[in-house]
Structure 1
């Protein structure tokens, strides 16, 4: 078995090749363009030991390794997206031979071309809405040492629960309003699963996690409306990220490669 396989980041249109020498991919590898007709695949030679199916299985628990791969993958995709329409591929999409990349471009040419036409001049923006986590008030020390009645204790706990539920409901209503407003300004939307506190790094509860596909000509209006919505919904926290390559909007029918083949 060869020691090298070919990692594929994305498929794009022909673009200024002067961008490529400055790019570094997985493990610092150079990024190369494999062309077929009006399609270009972005690839890097990588270690077969790491990226065949067996190698990937061994490294799935290595979070640092996965983070490095994801960071390099997204850096390549996002940089090229600044210069041309792009269809991002799944993380760890690899081929044993570079000729196989050309073969896939040829066999999927129509579907990839249609996807690139749809994504031309558009970027992804991510919006998250959070319900603030209320701090529980601790009883005063004097109360802790006193024989407070069980009834008073239960009443406090009930009040706290009702307050949390009211805050969450208000945040969810705000999230629905924010989503409706921004969806009207976007060409498409994709709702992701809300994230846990472990993933967001905050105790606030994530109640909305949406990606919007926004044409470049409409971005200023989209951003202006987002800023207005932050002011209109002070009871929750809004978070904006982007512009990104359109990761969330790759058509389902475009399946370009097999990861770790």
Structure 2
């Protein structure tokens, strides 16, 4: 019995006979499919020591990118994938080697796994962030022009005070506009995406006001429609800035957490 563990990237349904995973895994590891042919499921894996990947932050980020790339390449190859989070390992045990234990788990959970995969087939995750450049939002208030005029002829100390007042008015105007845009943007994106989930914005500069930050589950045929909606939102106001990222494996839409055999603790950066 081999004592090697299996690092699991994701699951696929009914892969064609003879299909091989495209690309490489973490640190160039060769990928393969562990098939449970009698239930129409397979796992994308590489052989690994039976301990999680741990190290400096830069290494962890590099490993996670490689994990994502392997899962996304497999999604493109077969049309759908149920991605696993970073650092899921299946180790050998008294009931069999790692591959046998993984096949047994696939068989035991076949109905649930097929249902999850059916929902994700032909779909990917995209991330949308919409913000406002606060300074570009008209305050709609005569007092703003008065403050700007006073600042031109005021001494430095007074200019700093007036500048803070001006910044507060612009921030309030941006927050008001963001509230208006949020509902409209969410409604329009929700009409095209098959599901959506709120996310914390990856980056936001101090001069920006957040409108929304979402993960979208989008069918491959509908990606262009999402782009059109975002273009229209971008053009609706000069202060609007849009970030549209993806495709990614649909990590945000895999359903309830799966209890896999010997799952190692996952790093939080997925």
Determine if the TM-score, normalized by the shorter chain, exceeds 0.5: yes
Question: What secondary structure does 1:75 align onto?
Answer: helix
Aligned to 1:90: 85
Aligned to 1:35: 35
Q: Distance in 2 between matches of 1:105 and 1:81?
A: 18
What is the 5 A alignment of 1:244-255? Answer: 244-252=248-256, 254-255=258-259
Q: Does residue 188 of the first structure (1) align with residue 190 of the second (2)?
A: no
Quote the offset at 1:85 in angstroms.
1.3
Whether contact under 8 Å (2:71, 2:83) holds in the other structure is: yes
Q: Does residue 238 of the first structure (1) align with residue 242 of the second (2)?
A: yes
Aligned-pair Cα RMSD in Å: 2.8
Aligned to 2:183: 176
Q: Distance in 1 between matches of 2:207 and 2:70?
A: 32
Aligned to 1:71: 65
Q: Distance in 1 between matches of 2:165 and 2:262?
A: 53
Deviations 1:166-223 (A, max 9, x none): 12332343233212111111111111123454xxx78634442111112223233222
Whether contact under 8 Å (2:10, 2:43) holds in the other structure is: yes
CA 1:77 to 1:221, structure 2 compared with 1: closer, same or farther past 3 Å?
same
- What TM-score does the superposition give when structure 1 sets the normalisation length? 0.80
- What TM-score does the superposition give when structure 2 sets the normalisation length? 0.78
Q: Distance in 1 between matches of 2:116 and 2:211?
A: 30
Quote the offset at 1:106 in angstroms.
1.4
Whether contact under 8 Å (2:101, 2:261) holds in the other structure is: no
Aligned to 2:213: 209
What is the 5 A alignment of 1:1-261? Answer: 4-16=4-16, 17-20=18-21, 22-36=22-36, 37-48=39-50, 51-52=51-52, 56=54, 59=55, 62-82=56-76, 83-96=78-91, 97-132=98-133, 134=135, 143-144=155-156, 153-197=160-204, 204-252=208-256, 254-260=258-264
Q: Distance in 2 between matches of 1:218 and 1:241?
A: 15
List alignment gaps of at least 5 residues for structure 2: 92-97, 137-147, 266-270
